[in-house]
């Protein structure tokens, strides 16, 4: 199901959009009718393919960000930078300086 509303979601699991798929998925894609947004959806083809052969998944334990959303993208970027040894301290110092001057001097468009 492509981006369902929370009340329509069949589970709390999410596809993080990293697939290792066999070439025959393209045969299924060619036969698909447009789905969500009027587009051919890979998830629809995978659902049909799953009815014919085994499919495997990895249950990810960790934090997930919606990087298709501006705020989610920024959150992921900041946390990634703070976890990197080579970026952690200089980036933390930058953020602390930014937060000190933010209420007074941050200009629109910066």
How is 51-89 classified by DSSP, letter by letter? TTS--------S----TTSHHHHHHHHHHHHHH-HHHHH
* Pick from 40, 42, 39: nearest CA to 25: 42
Query: What gap in Å lies between CA 80 and CA 7, rounded to an integer?
Result: 31
Q: With cut-offs at 50, 70 and 90, classify the pLDDT of residue 44.
A: confident
Tally the domains of the chain.
2
Domain assignment present for residue 85? The answer is yes
**What would the pLDDT profile of 50-79 be if each residue is shown by its tens digit?**
888 888 888 878 888 888 789 989 999 999
Domain assignment present for residue 58? The answer is no
Q: With cut-offs at 50, 70 and 90, classify the pLDDT of residue 7.
A: confident
Q: Which domain holds residue 25?
A: 6-50
Q: Contact at 8 Å (CB) between 67 and 76?
A: yes
What was the pLDDT predicted at 77?
94
């Amino acid at each position: 199901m492509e981006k369902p509303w929370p009340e329509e979601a069949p589970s709390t699991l999410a596809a993080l959009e990293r697939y290792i798929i066999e070439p025959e998925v393209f045969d299924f894609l060619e036969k698909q009718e447009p789905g969500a947004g009027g587009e051919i959806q890979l998830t629809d083809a995978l659902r049909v393919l799953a009815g014919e052969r085994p499919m495997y998944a990895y249950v990810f334990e960790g934090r997930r960000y919606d990087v298709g959303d501006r705020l989610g993208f920024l959150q992921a970027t900041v946390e990634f930078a703070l976890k990197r040894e080579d970026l952690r301290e200089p980036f933390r110092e930058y953020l602390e300086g930014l937060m000190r001057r933010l209420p007074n001097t941050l200009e629109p468009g910066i």
